[in-house]
Amino acid sequence: MAGFFRNLFGSSDKEVLVERRAHPRIPRRSTGFQQFTRATLKPEGQNVLDLGPTSPANIQFITGYAHKAYNEDLLTAAQDPSFVIPGEEPGTKVFDAKRFLAENLTYERGTFDAVMLWDLCDYLPEALVKPVVDRIFSITKEKGLLLGFFHTKDAGPDAPYYRYHIANLETLELQVGPKFQLQRVFQNRHIENLFHDYSSLKFFLGKDNIREVLIVR
């Protein structure tokens, strides 16, 4: 198994160790993640989508429960400058959400049983937030689960962007990632409006100015 991950991600054990020393991981107990895992561990053979940066720990955790792991780092993909095109008004620029979704999240309807959204919505370009949420709705099965994290108003614009690694059923490890800037802070009512097509939302007030939300399709 270790060889599989080394070949898949192009990193040796030594490189992984160096990377961990440069960017140490911070353990964080998560009630939302605990509820998410409790609801998705069984039955076996579920399709789980991780929308954060690729993490061997997350893949190993998901496949360890006989599920299928999928990964798309949408935030990194959205940094491609080719998606920024001239707007209708002279001298303006807009994000080409239509082309972005033609090249990303291209799964059949009802593919996924569970989606780890993390704090993606807080960092995406404005033009992508609603279209991405709508696409996730389409590719998630009825009664499928989403786990989302949202910064509170106290986070501040300089809040660091973290990668989320699964440590165990209750604990995540946060690791400082690329210098993506926080784009927005959602209030509860804004989150409810964004996911108004979904069946239900359950809020948990987490640590570090993060609000955790368990969302049922």
CATH number at residue 99: 3.40.50.150
Q: Is residue 126 part of a domain?
A: yes
E strand or H helix at 74 = helix 74-77
Secondary structure (3-state) at 51: coil
Q: Is residue 20 part of a domain?
A: no
Q: Is residue 146 part of a domain?
A: yes
User: So what's the pLDDT on residue 5?
Assistant: 37
Q: Is residue 18 part of a domain?
A: no
Q: How far is CA 174 from CA 48, 141, 153, 163, 192, in A?
A: 20, 28, 20, 6, 26
Looking up tokens 């429960």 gives: 65
Tally of domains in the chain? 1
* Domain coverage including residue 111: 28-78+89-216
User: So what's the pLDDT on residue 22?
Assistant: 60
Question: Can you tell me the distance from the alpha carbon of 192 to that of 215, in angstroms, rounded to the nearest whole number?
Answer: 10
Looking up tokens 């998410």 gives: 36
Residue ranges for the chain with pLDDT beneath 70: 1-22
Q: Is residue 5 part of a domain?
A: no
Q: Is residue 6 part of a domain?
A: no
Question: Can you tell me the distance from the alpha carbon of 163 to that of 160, in angstroms, rounded to the nearest whole number?
Answer: 10
User: So what's the pLDDT on residue 10?
Assistant: 46
Q: Is residue 141 part of a domain?
A: yes
Question: Can you tell me the distance from the alpha carbon of 137 to that of 148, in angstroms, rounded to the nearest whole number?
Answer: 13
Q: What is the pTM of this model?
A: 0.87
Q: Is residue 190 part of a domain?
A: yes
Question: Can you tell me the distance from the alpha carbon of 208 to that of 114, in angstroms, rounded to the nearest whole number?
Answer: 25
